Amino acid sequence: MVFEAFYKTFMSRSSVYVGVVIAGALVGEKVVNNGFDALWESRNKGKLYKDIVGNFPPMEEE
């Protein structure tokens, strides 16, 4: 019954199916990208430019 409703809603017409696949790919890409960015930042905390930019005094002109 659930599969039948899912099929009638999303898969009965190819135009709707293609739209669902494209939207799913875009959302999935965003989730994976944000997940790996968060993992990278947590594993490299204190080593990234945004973490150390304020630790150094400004350079003086000669």
Looking at residue 61, its pLDDT comes to 81
Transcribe 12-47 into DSSP letters: SSHHHHHHHHHHHHHHHHHHHHHHHHHHHHHHTTTT
Q: How confident is the model at residue 5 (pLDDT cuts 50, 70, 90)?
A: very high
CATH top-level class of 1-51: mainly alpha
Distance CA 11, CA 15 (A): 9
Model confidence pLDDT, tens digit, residues 13-50:
999 999 999 999 999 999 999 999 999 999 999 899 98
Looking at residue 60, its pLDDT comes to 84
Looking at residue 56, its pLDDT comes to 82
Global pTM exceeds 0.85: no
